[in-house]
Amino acid sequence: MDPLGARSQFVDIQNLPTWQQQLDEDGEETPPEQSDSLLSQQAFPSPFPFRPDINRKIILFCGDIALLNCTAILNTSNESLNDKNPVSDSVHQLAGPELQDELLKLKGCRTGEAKLTKGFNLAARFIVHTVGPKYKAKYRTAAESSLYSCYRNTMQLAVEQSMASVGLCVVSTAKRGYPLEDATHMAFRTVRRFLENHGNSLETVVFAVSDTEERLYRKLLPLYFPRSEQEERACLPLIPADIGNSEGEPVVPERQIRIAEKPGTLEDDSEEESLESDLGQVGNHAFARMEGDVDKQRKQILQGQMSEAAIHKQHQRNYNRWLCRARAEDLSDIAALKALYQTGVDMCGRTVMILVGRNIPVTLIDIEKALLYFIHVMDHITVKEYVMVYFHTLTGEHNHLDSNFLKNLYDIVDTKFKKNLKAFYFVHPTFRSKVSTWFFTTFSVSGMKDKVRYLDNLQQLFTCIKPEQIDIPPFVLEYDARVNGPYHPSQSSSL
């Protein structure tokens, strides 16, 4: 309990109306200077089209961000992480003195960076600390890039830590001198682009503002998050000319030639073709492509014996095609199943991924889209060591994935998926599932059998992953308590 008794003041974001829900309250206000006839003549599409799925994730909250019960809230500070401003003061007051002790261990934070601490006495589990830029018109470009990084790095942390919700304050404090309207445009477009490209796992983003900031936020939100097609058309002429690149990042024309992904290649609309062309413009000889003796490889191919390097490269190209599709397609329907998500870390500090068998309606979903969603979510996770927890709890026949699908998935994914998977915890297995898994890992895939560990109860799981580091579906907890008895921490530590 908070010693100040502030626990009762905490705000449940589940009770706040989403931006889409506020449409009925606000009404659709078409700017008076825009006529329907003028709008109908505009043939170009909006860069921020009407997306109700994204709008349902957005909340505008007028109040103290420190009171929100989000998974994480954003705190704006200075490079020494000891700034005195209304947001930071409230966060420190409610979090308690332990926060200051932890901040000392971080040894500061550079402008544009985002660093994570515990929430301590807050309702929020985590606090993301960021440092906004000091604004000077002479160095406007640098300030824009830094402010973009503040919001982008905060959102990236939220996804990497598998956060369900994040509260964002206004990073541009009065001390830093950043024009509020310019800063608001940057915040909205950065969050919008991030949710479009990487935000499947995020459920809620709360913009927390003060009374003086609310009017501007409410005015500009429809530009980036229109709540209807009519509002989209009405706001189109008001969108700034500069909206950054596909991620919302400020574009500096003078630097574009130096930041091109592949110097010497022409821009192409097809990402697949750019992957296929590889380093063709640089050179096709063996040294440039780093593939060994090309003549020898061609001879092996003609003899039906592809080299290991050629096979690996072909597999990599195939995986990249799937990854491009996964990033391009709308997979929100698969994400809504909540069958695959990231939680905390295990005892060894490795990322934990959760797979909930009962949430996979195999007979009803598009299996290919499920495969794309798996690739989309797991691609950035598998660059380092990770473990998977599969809850087989209360699954039925309609939840069981076909072995051919699993074999296909195993063959498609990049080698990092297999190399960095250190353990696959199979929770609440049945005799039949154990037999099926044994056959699959023995005869269909190699290297998986030794990683599978069958766990009959959650107490066994908690010897590998602390309870506070894993988000377990309520029905799994209820089933385990009914079958194995209530969980007692003392029993887990004695195993």
Domain ranges for the chain, please list them.
Answer: 6-238, 271-327, 334-494
7, pLDDT greater than 80: no
135 — alpha (psi -120 to 50), left (phi > 0) or beta?
Answer: beta
Q: What's residue 335's pLDDT?
A: 86
C-beta separation of 191 from 151 below 8 A: yes
> Which token pair is 291?
């593939």
pLDDT band with cut points at 50, 70 and 90 for residue 379: confident
C-beta separation of 60 from 13 below 8 A: no
pLDDT band with cut points at 50, 70 and 90 for residue 381: confident
Query: Residue 473: CB partners within 8 Å, gap ≥ 6?
Result: 356, 358, 359, 391, 393
> Which of 63-67, 133-137, 173-177 is most confident?
63-67
Mean pLDDT along residues 343-349: 89
Mean pLDDT along residues 253-271: 46
C-beta separation of 217 from 184 below 8 A: yes
CATH architecture of structural domain 334-494 = 3-Layer(aba) Sandwich (3.40)
35 or 452: which leads in pLDDT: 452
pLDDT band with cut points at 50, 70 and 90 for residue 136: confident
Query: Residue 151: CB partners within 8 Å, gap ≥ 6?
Result: 168, 171, 186, 187, 190, 191, 194
Rounded-to-integer distance, Cα 195 and Cα 206, Å: 13
Rounded-to-integer distance, Cα 211 and Cα 199, Å: 28
The domain 6-238 is classified under which CATH number: 3.40.220.10, 3.40.350.10, 2.60.40.1180, 3.40.50.300? Answer: 3.40.220.10
pLDDT tens sequence across 409-437: 888 888 888 889 999 999 999 998 888 88
pLDDT tens sequence across 385-400: 999 999 999 998 888 8
Angle at 175 between CA 146 and CA 205, to 5 degrees: 55
- The answer to whether the predicted template modeling score (pTM) of the entire model surpasses 0.75 is no
Angle at 396 between CA 393 and CA 398, to 5 degrees: 130
Strands (E), 335-420: 340-345, 351-356, 386-391
C-beta separation of 286 from 307 below 8 A: no
Backbone angles phi, psi at 44, to 5 degrees: -80, 145
54, pLDDT greater than 50: yes
Query: Residue 283: CB partners within 8 Å, gap ≥ 6?
Result: 289
Task: State how far the alpha carbon of 370 is from the alpha carbons of 194, 195, 382, in Å.
Answer: 21, 19, 18
- Domain 6-238 shares a fold with domain 334-494: no
> Which of 33-42, 163-172, 312-321, 412-421 is most confident?
163-172
pLDDT band with cut points at 50, 70 and 90 for residue 306: low
Give the least confident one: 76-85, 189-198, 326-335, 428-437: 326-335
